[in-house]
Amino acid sequence: MSDTAEVRPPLPPFTRETAIQKVRAAEDAWNTRDPKRVALAYTPQSVWRNRAEFITGREAIAEFLSRKWARELDYRLIKELWAFTENRIAVRFAYECHDDSGNWFRSYGNENWEFDENGLMARRFASINDLPIAAKDRLFHWPPGRRPDDHPGLSDLGL
């Protein structure tokens, strides 16, 4: 590792504990809905597949996230570790949001992540399905930002 290289701990190879830390750090960042901050967790040439969209590079990631959060309002996300190896992590996630007409959705998905030696994500592949829900059926109730430590996770919510 170069002394000037960007480093984003925890670093691979992952243990169960560090993989869980990495997943929570990603969840926390995404819940800020700050595209530039989130993009810094990825390598400058990170490769994404998000649904049917293919994205390469931090600038494109930040632009994608800006578009995403402009239409997915009151966004709340929970991620959970599914599996891990030395430099790869698989997560499952769900998020809730509404559109500008007030229609609520819960989106479910899986992501596969691959990290470089500095702990930056080099590859992200996401598969996502959207389910319309009634506002009364929402499960993610916390103020904007980080999910509180005492808020149930996906498994606790039966998702």
**Model pLDDT for residues 28-77, shown as the tens digit of each residue:** 999 999 999 999 999 999 999 999 999 999 999 999 999 999 999 999 99
Q: Is residue 155 part of a domain?
A: no
CB burial of residue 46 (10 Å; 0-12, 13-18, 19+): buried
Evaluate whether residue 39 is within a structural domain.
yes
Is the previous residue joined to 10 through a cis bond, with omega within 30 degrees of 0? yes
What is the span of the domain harbouring residue 88? 16-140
Peptide bond preceding 12 in cis form (omega within 30 of 0): no
pLDDT in tens, 83-132: 999 999 999 999 999 999 999 999 999 999 999 999 999 999 999 999 99
What is the CB neighbour count within 10 angstroms for residue 112?
Answer: 16
How far, in Å, CA of 79 to CA of 153, rounded? 8
Task: Quote the pLDDT of residue 103.
Answer: 98
Beta strand 42-50 with 121-133 is: parallel
Report if residue 150 sits inside a domain.
Answer: no
Tokens standing for residue 34 = 């700050």
> Is 29 a member of any domain?
yes
- Find, among 3, 145, 5, 157, the residue nearest to 75 by Cα: 145
Q: What is the pTM of this model?
A: 0.95
Q: Report the domain count for the chain.
A: 1
| CATH code assigned at 106 | 3.10.450.50
pLDDT value at position 2?
A: 40
